[in-house]
Amino acid sequence: DDADLLSAFEEDTDVIDLTHLRLTSKSLRKMPLEKFVKLQRLHLRQNEISKFTEKDIGSLHELQELDMYDNSLEKTYGEVLKGCPNLETLDLSFNAIRHISHLSHLSKLHTLYLVQNKIAKVRPDDLAAPLGLTLKSLELGSNRLRSLENIGHLTQLEELWVGKNKITKLEGLDELANLRILSIQSNRITKLENLDKLHNLEELYLSHNGLERIEGLENNVKLTTLDIGANKVKEIENVGHLKNLEEFWANDNQIATINQLEKQLGPSLCPALNTVYLEGNPAQRTEGAHYRFKVKLALPQIKQIDATFVR
């Protein structure tokens, strides 16, 4: 019986994990969750839950982390979560949610995962204050977004993950002064632009887009990782000022020569560089057997070329 699943847990427990048990909304209703007044973390991954209510999850006033990854939710049930004012992490990934509704009251939430849903846009009030003032990590990968709108006010945001959408332009990010990680892989970006206000950016992931040039990174001097793999970039340029760069991934582009490597990424410019990916470019085919030797000659500081460790 579903109700008996909780009999294994002490009433003062702070973690309950009920992953992969084929639980439904009906199962949830039968469970006396409200007796766990000290519960802080509830994991309900990989079940068949389509809704939750004030009587079950909404009764957990001390809850800090709710994980409902891979269920059958069609909405966020944010109004129910008013009963969980201490929520810090919410994972609703791999569901069928279309709108980010009624979550803005979560004044302590810092991490929100909504990967692999059916979200087509972020509406003006979806991430309003107080949530908008506390959110540090937002994961919206594998949705249906066509633009980066209505997230510019998230001034505390440190990580934004929006890979596998249909975004065509880098824009609306100027106010995200604390952003450290931007992942926008597998979208439809054709120009590297509008990142000049992101002075604290450390990791930029742009693989599988339609970029033709490396440009617009003049102010992003804190970058440690730059991933432009699987684009249409023809040459390595405009990276010599990235003195903190550790990882440079430019595989599967249209780079014809590696002659500019030392001028752009040499040890005097990028002393911390330890990994470069350049395979799958015309330059690799042109150099043939000498390819790895020539890259190492140009960049003696590196430890890894493509998937191979060189020292």
Task: Tell me which residues of the chain have a pLDDT lower than 50.
Answer: none
Tell me how far apart the alpha carbons of residues 4 and 20 are, in angstroms, rounded to a whole number: 16
> Which string of b and e fits 225-261 if b means at least 16 CB within 10 Å?
bbbbbbbebbbbeebbebeebbbbbbbbbebeebebb
Question: For residue range 162-189, what is the model confidence (pLDDT) as tens digits?
Answer: 999 999 999 999 999 999 999 999 999 9
Domains of the chain: residue spans and CATH: 1-96 (3.80.10.10)
Alpha-helical segments (H) within the chain:
25-30, 131-134, 261-265, 282-287, 291-298
pLDDT recorded at residue 8: 87
**Looking at residue 45, what is its pLDDT?**
98
Q: What is the pLDDT of residue 2?
A: 76
Note the pTM of the prediction, 2 decimals.
0.96
Identify the pLDDT of residue 48.
97
The two structure tokens encoding residue 128: 């309003």
Measured distance CA(193)–CA(177) in Å, rounded: 16
How high is the pLDDT of residue 249?
99
Backbone dihedral angles phi then psi of residue 258, each to the nearest 5 degrees: -105, 15
Say if CB 127 and CB 135 are below 8 A apart: yes
**What does the pLDDT read at residue 1?**
73
Phi-psi region of 94 (alpha: psi -120 to 50; beta: other; left: phi over 0): left
CA atoms within 13 A on the CB side of 229: 15
pLDDT at 26: 93
pLDDT of residue 311: 82
